[in-house]
Chain A
Amino acid sequence: EAAVTQSPRNKVAVTGGKVTLSCNQTNNHNNMYWYRQDTGHGLRLIHYSYGAGSTEKGDIPDGYKASRPSQENFSLILELATPSQTSVYFCASGENRANQAPLFGEGTRLSVL
């Protein structure tokens, strides 16, 4: 069964600390995405990737890095976490074909204190 798994599911971090959010997909999808979701906003795209070794900036990349070491794994890295990065983060994977609907993970709730 197609799956996108995120870890951790919940994280509390301190301001200035480094945070890594992990995402694993077993769908053999080329494309992977990181979004954040805040109250009053829809999900907004942070970074995406179209294959191992590639990362691209999305709409709100500032303060975030991404890493795609393999087809299955896509990480989001906050080198210096700030309270403004408190949010719910969603990872998704999708086929590199037209008209596809990406599959999403269950989300990671991050609180930066």
Chain B
Amino acid sequence: DIQMTQSPSSLSASVGDRVTITCRASQGIRDGLGWYQQKPGKAPKRLIYAASSLQSGVPSRFSGSGSGTEFTLTISSLQPEDFATYFCLQHNSYPITFGQGTRLEIK
């Protein structure tokens, strides 16, 4: 199975900050990675697909980059509604596996 190592596990930041979250795959997954936002009691919402493509309707302050084994999600200027948990998902091969999640909290 492909292991996805996500960091950091938690992050405190302020409105307006730029934040970056990283996922590393234990083997190459090309661009088979998505980034998701999850708020308490809600289903995950996809932000980025194919590593760097912005999901329709998602604000442009979210961006993704990377290919192969290292990937990043960047939020360019945090807004109050962005405080949530974020996780990556690889679908290059079965079983699909997930990063452990990053809890983004207000400083």
Q: Do A and B come from one complex?
A: no
Measuring CB to CB, which residues of chain B are less than 8 angstroms from any residue of chain A? none
Measuring CB to CB, which residues of chain A are less than 8 angstroms from any residue of chain B? none
